Structure 1
Amino acid sequence: MGQSSVRGDDTRERVPRERSGGATAAPAGGGTRGGGRRRGHGKPRKRRILRWTALTVSVLILGTGGAGYLYYEHLNDSIKREALNLGGKKMAGHKANAAGQTPLNILLIGSDARDTAANKKLGGGRAHFDGPALADVQMLVHLSADRTNMSVVSMPRDTMVKMPKCTAPDGTEYAASTGRMQTNLSLDRGGPGCTVAAWHELTGITIDHFMMVDFAGVVSMADAIGGVPVCVDANVYSRNSKGEGSGLKLREGTTSIKGEQALQWLRTRYGFEDGTDLGRTRAQHMYMNSMIRELRENAKLTNPNKLRKLAEAATDALTVDDRIDTVTDLLDLADEFKKIPTGRITMTTMPTIPYTYDRNRVEPTPGDAEKLFRLVRDDIPLDGKGVKAKPKPPKSKDPVAPVGEIAVIVQNGTGVGGQPTNGRSTSVTASLVAQGFTLARAGDQLTPQEKTTVTYPSVDLQGDAQAVAKSLGVPMSAVKRSTEVTGVTVVVGADWRTGTAYPKASEDDDKAPKSARLSNGADSTDCMHVQEGFTWS
């Protein structure tokens, strides 16, 4: 086979354990149905518009006849499904808001599998033909409970995380990692369900669905969607002296891309910004935002033939979780996406810092990354709109006892959705003792919960509980009275997995950290900066 025009950016990297221990197409947003105008009228009849937006896929594409039913079944049979969570852990459910609404979280996974002729041609990297697939693209899509806004959080593929226990579809069991591993290895340890489990382990976010697509799937869906405009600030050619790169070649300015060129754009690392995954995820966000605008503004999918082609491409390309039974379920998800205004779509990348043991890898930025996860868990919009100031809890009128006389029990609650972080109760207890709370002791009980809390049983201990919280940097909003405890009790939650001081950035306000590099879905002026050395004339 000759050299493909869409080779991988670089060789696939697999990382051993730490030495010391480590796109779904956004649905069209409405619009009128093309053609079918009644003579003497300037707009389609109202009933036709309602029919277009309300009927199910089987009617939209096929009509109501027997052939339509058979085709509908054909689409259902094309959908590939795998278990949502192969790690054996139960996913926590959502808590409804005051209106009884719940958010929706979908993990998008891009597989780099070179397991078919099409994927080998598109993916390049002969050394990895028929090898294990890696989750090289990971994006969490969060739809707010009231469907007024959407947040998309990307995780770079070379992020080092702890892996949960997972079981592969063939029954192979993988124990939870003792150190850290590169996040894209999760797909090889148990399929997309293991990638879901790894995300849940790190973030504490409930994940409702996943959708996975490979190289060939991206190309077929990009062709079905049609051209999507993207912008570069200089001529770009993604190839280095070793021949590594996606092969993307574009002129300065805006170009409409689709098919293989769209795949090249989504895979480009060499040539964008600093040549790292951070630039690649930003380019992916630009493509997704532009695609959503195109689908909505130009109403490309109001054409029945285009919709049929996209339906076929999607059902053939996607692997989804086993909670999605039929094409109708996919349409229902699409309807949820359509409720979100373009200007309320916010895309971001998890804040990272260089990994301690390998500077070519990254790890979540303490404080900033957890703050981003908290905002998603609490269904707080990343764009800062619609957030109301939290009332400050009243200070206790109860006099505080000398710190050496305050008995405190510290429990480890970091095991939300997976294995707890070892030693958390011990290290936090040591911090309290060092500050004079000599009666503090670590408890043996494991109490998994997402957020750190300080609880007390009666009003006469409220002041003591607030003093403990203040010494640890835990916000006063986390200090609560509870009849389930017999004394001042600290439960170290999943939001505080490292360090002896509570991460300040995770609770100082409800604005996304600046390091998250937000982009807005309505911004049509965004343009990728081309990396020095990857331009042409």
Structure 2
Amino acid sequence: MSAESTPGSGIPGPPGSRGSRRRTKGRRRKRRSTGVHIAAWVAAGIVLLGGTGAGYVYFKLNGNLKSVNIDQALGSDRPVKVDDGSQNILVLGSDTRAGANQELGGGEDDGSARSDTAMIVHVYEGRKSASVVSIPRDTLIDRPECTDTDGTTHQAAGGVMFNSAYSTGGAACAVKTVETLTGIRMDHYLEVDFSGFEKLVDELGGVEVTTTEPISDPDSHLDLPKGTHQLTGEQALALVRTRHGVGDGSDLGRIQLQQAFVKALVEQVKSIGLFTNPTRLYALADTATKTVTTDSDLGSVDALMSWANGLKSIGSANLDMVTMPVQYDPADLNRVLLDEAKADQVWAALKADKPIPESATEDTATGQADGVVAP
């Protein structure tokens, strides 16, 4: 939903991957994951079962879903669609101030929104493993000209923050920017907002995390002493959004907390036996389908069920999570710049449906918050 990468995670990948030779090394190195709004993954998984009940359930969940026609807005000027069995999904966590998100976002509803968390999920051929690349929102980029889903064209802009793409032209401009940046076509798009994330965590009964040092951030209203905590949805949202209470106060530090939270959330889903509890599963499915926005190809329960079915075997042990390689901007340490040479290694690996090499994430910028929340 960080360079705080996981080159030593020991994650099994496709045939010939580096996972097997990383297992021992991975035990010594702290595992890191991306800034994933796990709600997006949960949404897909729960719909798989939630949509198989009575007709009422099916049509209710189907009616909850919102979708945007990314393909129509982007037209034909896009990277070539690779037909090798792999998939690329852009997952965004948005900080829109609209509706219930106004109070959670801490600001007035001015009609704007930004991509608070952004990541590229590359699902390898065979659907047994995936690589996830988090894109720091504070990365300075050259944003391409793009057309939003209303047909309005937005001019290109140089040296702007990555998350301005979403605030400028919504989902279509966010996808256009990512495709221009990476040269990789996004097959799907998935978005979750503040209120959706909070509700989904509460539906799961909270998530247990362990902090290795106190976290106090008045901006996100988070105050956690050192120790183990069962986070509510409100606390979980504050944790994945905090940046001033940990590390160097950068977006990269926040991403590290998000990484650790993802691991904890995956374990929580396993521990409660979600898929053996139809009542709880339906409640989560109802919440998720109300708070997730997808591309039009995934905009029905049937399509989401089929897609989720292909991802159900991918767990935390099968995810290789890294951050897009960046370096701090010497002119403004609150911003980061793309490390083009290393980023090219990441994009080349994904295009070839290969594991991301360790060299791609070595000696890149970090947020110095690794280990604050134990994975």
Scaled by the length of structure 2, the TM-score of the pair is: 0.81
> Which structure shows the bigger proportion of residues in helix conformation?
2
1:159 aligned onto 2:139: yes
What is the alpha-carbon distance in structure 2 between the residues aligned to residue 369 and residue 87 of structure 1? 24
Shift of 1:337: 2.4
Q: Distance in 2 between matches of 1:330 and 1:167?
A: 26
1:104 paired residue among 87, 99, 109 = 87
Residue equivalent to 1:288: 262
1:365 equivalent in structure 2: 339
**Preserved contact between residue 50 and residue 281 of structure 2 (Cα < 8 Å):** no
Q: Give the 3 Å change call, closer, same or farther, for CA 226–208 of structure 1 in structure 2.
A: farther
Counterparts of 1:360 and 1:219 in 2: how far apart (Å)? 27
Work out whether 1:201 is the aligned partner of 2:180: yes
Q: For 1:105, what is the secondary structure of its paired residue?
A: strand
Letter in 1 for 2:362: K
Q: 1:361 to 1:28 in 2, by over 3 A?
A: closer
Q: 1:230 to 1:176 in 2, by over 3 A?
A: same
In structure 1, the partner of 2:159 is 180
What stretches of structure 1 of length at least 5 have no aligned partner? 1-22, 31-52, 63-67, 97-101, 240-244, 385-509, 519-525, 531-537
Partner of 2:362 in structure 1? 514
Partner residue, 1:147: 127
Aligned pair 1:136/2:116, yes or no? Answer: yes
Which amino acid in structure 1 is aligned with residue 247 of structure 2?
E
Instruction: Evaluate the alpha carbon distance shift between residue 529 and residue 343 of structure 1 in structure 2; reply closer, same or farther with a 3 A threshold.
Output: closer
Q: Which residue of 1 aligns with 2:243?
A: 269
CA distance in 2, matches of 1:29, 1:322: 15
- 1:237 has 2:237 as partner: no
Query: Is the partner of 1:191 in helix, strand or coil?
Result: helix
**Cα separation, 2, equivalents of 1:154 and 1:294:** 22
The 3-state SS of whatever aligns with 2:320 is strand
Superposition deviation, residue 298 in structure 1 = 4.1
Residue 317 (1) aligns with residue 297 (2): no
- Deviation readout 1:84-116 (Å, 9 max, x if unpaired): 2534334521132xxxxx112111111111111
Aligned residue among 81, 84, 90 for 1:93 = 81
1:380–1:160 CA distance, 2 compared to 1 (3 A):
same
**Residues 154 and 29 of structure 1: CA distance in aligned 2, closer, same or farther (over 3 Å):** closer
Provide Cα deviations, 1:118-159, integer angstroms capped at 9, x if missing partner: 211111134xx3241111210111111122321111111111
Q: Distance in 2 between matches of 1:313 and 1:141?
A: 23
1:120 corresponds to 2:96: no
CA offset digits 1:482-535 (Å, max 9, x no partner): xxxxxxxxxxxxxxxxxxxxxxxxxxxx754324699xxxxxxx83269xxxxx
**Quick check: 1:29–1:339 contact (8 Å CA) kept in 2?**
no
Change beyond 3 A, Cα 1:91–1:223: farther
SS of the equivalent of 1:347 reads strand
State the one-letter code of the partner of 1:527.
G
Residues 256 and 512 (structure 1), Cα distance of their counterparts in 2 relative to 1, 3 Å cut: farther
Taking a change above 3 Å as real, the CA distance of residues 342 and 212 of structure 1, as seen in their structure-2 partners, is closer
- Over 3 Å counting, the alpha-carbon distance change for 1:215 and 1:372 in structure 2 is same
Tell me, in whole angstroms, the C-alpha distance in 1 between the residues paired with 2:364 and 2:201: 27
SS of 1:319 mapped into structure 2: strand
Q: How many matched pairs?
A: 332
Matched, 1:80 2:89: no
Deviation sequence 1:386-439 (CA, Å, 0-9, x none): xxxxxxxxxxxxxxxxxxxxxxxxxxxxxxxxxxxxxxxxxxxxxxxxxxxxxx
Check whether the contact 2:51–2:305 (CA below 8 A) recurs between aligned residues: no
CA contact (8 A) 1:80 1:320 kept: yes
Letter in structure 1 aligned against 2:276: T
Q: Which runs of structure 2 are paired with 1:472-491 in the superposition (5 Å)?
A: none
Q: Which amino acid aligns with 1:72?
A: Y
The 1:348–1:219 alpha-carbon spacing in structure 2 relative to 1, beyond 3 Å, is same
Equivalent residues of 1:237, 1:249 under 8 A apart: yes
Structure (1/2) with the larger strand percentage: 2
8 Å CA contact 2:44–2:305 kept in 1: the answer is no
Q: Distance in 2 between matches of 1:182 and 1:296?
A: 37
Q: How far apart, CA to CA, are the structure 2 residues paired with 1:517 and 1:187? A: 24
Query: Corresponding residue for 2:5?
Result: none
Q: Is the counterpart of residue 332 in structure 1 residue 306 in structure 2?
A: yes
Which residue does 2:7 correspond to in 1?
Answer: none
Partner of 2:51: 58
Q: CA deviation at 1:176?
A: 2.6
